[in-house]
Amino acid sequence: MSALSLDDLRKGAAAKYPDFEVETEDGRILGFRPVLRLPKVKRRAINDAMDLKKRTEDLPEGHDVDQAQLMISVMSDALKAAERTRGDHAALLKWAGLEDLGIWLYLFEQYSEVTSPGEASPSES
């Protein structure tokens, strides 16, 4: 068997763990990278975005938490950290807004499905 080139390894990783892409109405492609292919700082930003306990503790005392708004901000902040190109998140946010939880849930579900590394295969023992 011949050795894999570095280019082959990059292409293989890109094929196995692809970016999540959204095409805008004007044909622009917005890209969001899989968590496992992000640098440590971006992975930490996603982890912080998803930390509901910390996010609610940081709110002023007596603040009434709108659960839908909280969930939208969690998903939006996570996707911001995963944006492939600066401005991809801003374009998505401009289109999606911050009001429709259904859009954000579907969007994040699709992102998770596309970028998920999948389940481990059972060993052959």
Sorted by where each begins, the domain ranges of the chain are: 18-115
Q: What is the pTM of this model?
A: 0.83
Mean pLDDT calculated for residue range 19-38: 96
The pLDDT of residue 57 is 81
Task: Name the percent of the chain lying above pLDDT 90.
Answer: 74
- 40 has a pLDDT exceeding 80: yes
The pLDDT of residue 51 is 92
- Where do the DSSP E strands lie in 1-125? 20-23, 29-32
d(CA 76, CA 78): 5
The pLDDT of residue 52 is 86
Mean pLDDT calculated for residue range 11-40: 95
A 10 A CB-CB count for 47 gives 13
pLDDT tens digits for range 80-124: 999 999 999 999 999 999 999 999 999 999 999 999 886 544 555
Give the 3-state secondary structure of residue 30.
strand
d(CA 48, CA 11): 30
The pLDDT of residue 102 is 97
d(CA 52, CA 57): 8
